[in-house]
């Protein structure tokens, strides 16, 4: 009998075909039943581990998202409402008290009126003014102005005055360039600068901010001149 005849005779026997099928099934499916490639899974490099890592990175909040908002500046101010007036409460007996005045302290909380938040950050008594100015005494006021409105608002040095004990008001004689140009302050923007007042008499003085003729006013007492 030839070799080919022998193979043909084996193929006609059913148990041979069954045995061959079992051997093929064991060769193909055996690794899956035995746990696959343990090396990849233990190292965290298998398909399941990769999917879990990606999901965690996608859903985890970032430090930027959880960080608190700034405590000061335009971002903290733009959503605030106007303040209630307190005429005469902080400075009883001052001249020219008006019903809508907001009295504040130098270096303290801002006054919020007419869509602005305004600070008087510092006040100094000086013997000399800016270059070219006549002899003093002078009062130099450092101010910060934030526009809480979405649209632009006009501002200028004429919005400010120095009021003496008799209620006589004087405009700044000198001011930072930003307060002289007369350009509107854009919405949600801020500006800082200096205002110089020439003091003509002794006694108490107050710095007053009034952005419009019919608006409320912000008032700060000028600290006494050092002796």
Distances (CA, A) of 148 to 46, 63, 104: 55, 28, 19
| CA–CA dist 134, 118 (Å, integer) | 29
* Residue (of 143, 94, 124) closest to 199 by Cα position: 124
**Mean pLDDT within 171-193:** 93
**Mean pLDDT within 28-49:** 40
| CA–CA dist 12, 17 (Å, integer) | 9
Whether the per-residue pLDDT at 215 is higher than 90: the answer is: yes
pLDDT digits (tens, 9 = 90+) for 58-101: 222 222 222 344 455 544 688 899 999 999 999 999 999 999 99
Q: Which residues contact 10 (CB under 8 A, 6 or more apart)?
A: 16
Quick check: pTM over 0.85?
no
The single-letter DSSP state of residue 179 is G
Domain layout of the chain by residue ranges: 3-59, 75-221
**Among 3.40.50.1100, 2.60.40.1240, 3.90.550.10, 3.40.50.2000, what is the CATH number of 75-221?**
2.60.40.1240
* Residue (of 123, 120, 116) closest to 139 by Cα position: 123
- Identify the pLDDT of residue 76: 67
Maximal C-alpha separation, the chain: 138
User: Which pLDDT band holds residue 172 (cuts at 50, 70, 90)?
Assistant: very high
**Mean pLDDT within 128-149:** 94
* Residue (of 110, 180, 186) closest to 147 by Cα position: 186
Whether the per-residue pLDDT at 224 is higher than 80: the answer is: yes
- Asked if 98 and 111 touch (Cβ cutoff 8 Å), the reply is no
DSSP track, 88-153: TTSSTT-SS--TT-EEE-TTSPPEEETTEEEEEEEEEEESS-STT-----EEEEEEEEEE-SSS-B
CA torsion 184-70-120-81 (nearest 10°) is: 70
3-state secondary structure at position 217? coil
- Asked if 100 and 87 touch (Cβ cutoff 8 Å), the reply is yes
pLDDT digits (tens, 9 = 90+) for 106-131: 999 999 999 999 999 999 999 999 99
- Identify the pLDDT of residue 72: 56
Residue 134 in tokens:
């006549």
Q: Pairing between strand 169-170 and 174-175?
A: unpaired
- Asked if 78 and 151 touch (Cβ cutoff 8 Å), the reply is no
């Amino acid at each position: 009998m030839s070799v080919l005849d022998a193979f043909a005779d084996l193929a006609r026997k059913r148990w041979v075909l069954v045995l061959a099928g079992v051997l093929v099934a064991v060769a193909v499916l055996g690794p899956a039943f035995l746990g696959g490639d343990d090396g990849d899974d233990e190292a965290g490099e298998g398909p399941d581990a990769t999917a879990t890592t990606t999901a965690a990175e996608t859903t985890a909040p970032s430090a930027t998202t959880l960080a608190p908002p700034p405590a000061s500046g335009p971002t903290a101010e733009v959503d605030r409402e106007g303040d209630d007036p307190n005429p005469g409460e902080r400075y009883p007996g001052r001249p020219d008290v008006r019903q809508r005045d907001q009295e504040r302290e130098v270096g303290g909380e801002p006054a919020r009126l007419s869509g602005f938040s305004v600070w008087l950050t510092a006040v100094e008594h000086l013997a000399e003014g800016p270059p070219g100015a006549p002899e003093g005494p002078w009062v130099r006021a450092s101010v910060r102005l934030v526009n809480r409105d979405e649209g632009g608002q006009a501002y200028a040095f004429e919005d400010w005055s120095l009021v003496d004990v008799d209620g006589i008001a004087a405009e700044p004689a000198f001011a930072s360039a930003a307060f002289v140009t007369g350009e509107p302050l854009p919405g949600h923007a801020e500006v800082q600068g200096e205002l110089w007042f020439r003091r003509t008499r002794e006694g108490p003085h107050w710095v007053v901010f009034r952005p419009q003729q019919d608006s409320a006013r912000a008032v700060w007492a000028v600290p006494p001149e050092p002796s």
